[in-house]
Amino acid sequence: MTVLHQPVKALISIGSLWHQRLGHPSNQIVKTLGLPPTSETCEVCLTGKLSLLSFSGSFEKAQHPLECIHLDVVGPISPSSNTGLKYFLTIVDQFTLFKTVMFLKTKSKAFNEFVKWEAFSKNFNNTRIKNLVSDRGGEFENEQFKHLATSCGLIHIFSPTATPEHNGFAERANRTILNKARCLLIRSNLPRSYWAKAVNTATFLSNLIPTSLRNNKSPFVLWASKLPWLKILRDFGCKTFILVQWKDRYWKLSPTSEEGILLGFKNDNLSYQILQLQYKKVVVTRHTLFIEDHFPFLDKGSDCTDCSRWVNTCDENDIFFDCNEDAIEDSNSQSPPEDHHDVAIQESHSSAPFWQEFPLLRSGRQHCDSPRHPTLIRGDVDQANILPFPCRPKAPISMEDIDPLSYSNAVSGRKDSWINYQSAIGSLSYLSTETRPDILFAVSSLSQFLELPGIKNWNAFMHVLQYLKGTSHQSLVYPIEGKQGVQSYCNTDWGNCHQARRSVTGFIVMFNGCLVIWKTRKQPTVSLSTAEAEYKALTDLSAKLLWLRQFIQELALHLVEGPIKPVSTRQTVTATEKIKGSSMLRLNSTSLER
């Protein structure tokens, strides 16, 4: 044993021994203790103490535009923009520090947008791109960029994994753009879905600001070789008045302008992107005047931050439009009283995610903003003239808010309430005839109350929306190989209609596992018992089955042999058959309402 330990003692130096005894400190600490430091490499320290190496921050300097381009993708950003955009591609020219953003719905579109920018930049600068710098994301490290680099002679440089500092130009540009866009949204209080407009404006403004890295010259000057025209700049999100063209004026004495909100600038240094509050669309115009100390969304309060998008885009059901009119309500107009059905809907379905899924309903919601100062109302209530009440040196006259007028039974006495209900049912009717025939009976039932809908009708309508939302991922499946033969299922809802006392028949017929016939309909006569209602439903089903058998036989398929046994979910008919002939038959099968 002594012979085996002796060579080990000879191989370990005094410095290494004390380094291990003290728990692997640095050589500087060992010197402080008056002990000899070690000059050997400690693998234990390399394994347990290795950290990120310092980054020098040095890049090879570019001598002209497009010599080196830095790329990065930011996102996903939630919520998506008004047009469904979730990402944006940042493109930075290293020589000029000129920044460009291209908005994307998916990361896979990054190559297509870069190709568009490359064609524009080559034509603008009359030169070609020589180097590309990006991370190793799948949107950059793919066959498309590889083929582009090979065909155009580009050098594509990838930063190491988990090392964003090697793509510092793009990362710093992202920080600058996002910080500026965040400030623009906070100042204007625009809805979060307008982040793309804020990012685009932030990029435009950052290119106009001089930088000390380029001798206090702005990226725009270095890129375009001309001075920017700063006179066009206005405060993002401020109130504007847009000129109404002659062809759009409905009356000789109609107003010549309409309100809008500034959302951005155009590259021609003359035009602006304005959101029209009346028509809820973005237009490009130069005929506009600004009120930079007034922000329409800022005056609305915090409710506007959760507003839905205002573009006419449809979801998969093709009826629910994202158009929230609460956020664009005129701040100077007197709001009508809140509808009775609004209170019921808010109480029954107060969860924000469900409510935001169907912004069509929110178009009918109105808020009551009673005046807090002395006023005089004269004339017709529907067209009230609200005038300031004179109150000179005397004591002011106060006005108490006694809450909106409520209605006992109907949704509301105002016409726009039942027009809203009619529009909603019309949308459901269109959907039921196109892609969702399973809601046809529900739509038919709701359509019976179009003239004066009640709160229960609105609640039933909301249940239909919940059903659509919960089953949007489901569909009819017609398998190639299914259960052979004809299968049928029948059910009834006795006394479904409380007004006519009639029951509802429902059945489906499947052929080889595929749905071919379905029906949901009120029975033509009143049924005195559940058994009678079930017999009527089975009669209708039997007629359909006989027709289907005859149709299959005419096709000479010979796929249906023997009797077809309908399946009923209720057992009343079966129990009735067992006691047939008994004197208790009529007593046991009667279900009259007491």
Which tokens is 213 given?
Answer: 């890295």
User: Domain residue spans in the chain?
Assistant: 2-49, 68-224, 230-302, 314-393+413-470, 486-588
* CA–CA separation, 120 and 49 (whole Å): 49
Burial (CB < 10 A; 0-12, 13-18, 19+), residue 161, is exposed
Segment (H or E) for 134 = strand 131-134
Closest CA to 225 of 95, 82, 350, 30: 95
Query: Do 591 and 530 touch, CB atoms closer than 8 A?
Result: yes
Alpha-carbon distance 448 to 279, whole Å?
A: 32
Tokens 């329409």 correspond to: 296
- The candidate with the shortest Cα–Cα distance to 423, out of 521, 338, 323, 346, is 323
- Closest-CA residue to 86 (of 170, 199, 217): 199
Instruction: State CA 578 to chain mean position distance.
Output: 58
Alpha helices in 109-245 (DSSP H): 110-125, 143-152, 168-188, 195-206, 219-224
Task: Say how far apart CA 417 and CA 453 lie, in whole Å.
Answer: 9
230-302 — its CATH code?
2.30.30.140
Q: Which residue type occupies 378?
A: R
Element (H, E) at 593: none
Stated pTM of the model? 0.47
Q: Which residue has the tokens 């006179």?
A: 231
Q: In this predicted structure, what is the pLDDT of residue 520?
A: 79
Distance CA 393, CA 364 (A): 43
Q: Could you give the residue ranges of the DSSP H alpha helices within 12-82?
A: 14-21, 27-32, 43-49
pLDDT, position 81? 86
Instruction: Detail the DSSP E strand segments found in 135-237.
Output: 155-158
CB atoms within 10 A of CB 255: 10
**Cα of 41 vs its chain's centroid, Å:** 56
Six token digits for residue 71? 């790329």
Helix, strand or coil for residue 235? coil
pLDDT at 350: 40
Instruction: Note down pLDDT in tens along the chain; length 594 residues.
Output: 444 444 444 456 777 776 766 667 777 777 776 777 776 777 777 777 666 666 666 667 888 888 888 998 988 888 888 888 899 999 999 888 899 999 998 888 889 899 899 888 888 888 888 888 888 888 888 888 888 888 888 888 888 777 777 778 888 888 888 988 888 888 888 888 889 989 998 898 888 888 888 888 888 888 888 888 888 888 888 888 988 887 777 778 888 888 888 888 887 778 888 888 887 888 888 888 888 888 888 766 544 444 443 443 333 333 222 333 333 333 333 333 344 344 333 444 444 444 444 444 444 444 444 444 444 444 444 444 444 444 444 455 555 555 555 544 444 444 444 557 788 888 888 887 777 877 878 888 888 887 778 888 888 888 888 888 888 887 777 777 767 778 888 888 887 776 777 888 888 888 777 888 877 777 888 888 888 888 888 888 888 888 888 887 787 766 666 667 666 655 555 555 544 444 444 434 444 343
DSSP β-bridge partners for residue 375: 388
The continuous run of DSSP H or E covering 337 comes out as none
Q: Which CATH architecture has domain 68-224?
A: 2-Layer Sandwich (3.30)
What is the rounded distance in angstroms from the CA atom of residue 108 to the CA atom of residue 478?
33
Q: Which helix (H) or strand (E) holds 504?
A: strand 504-511
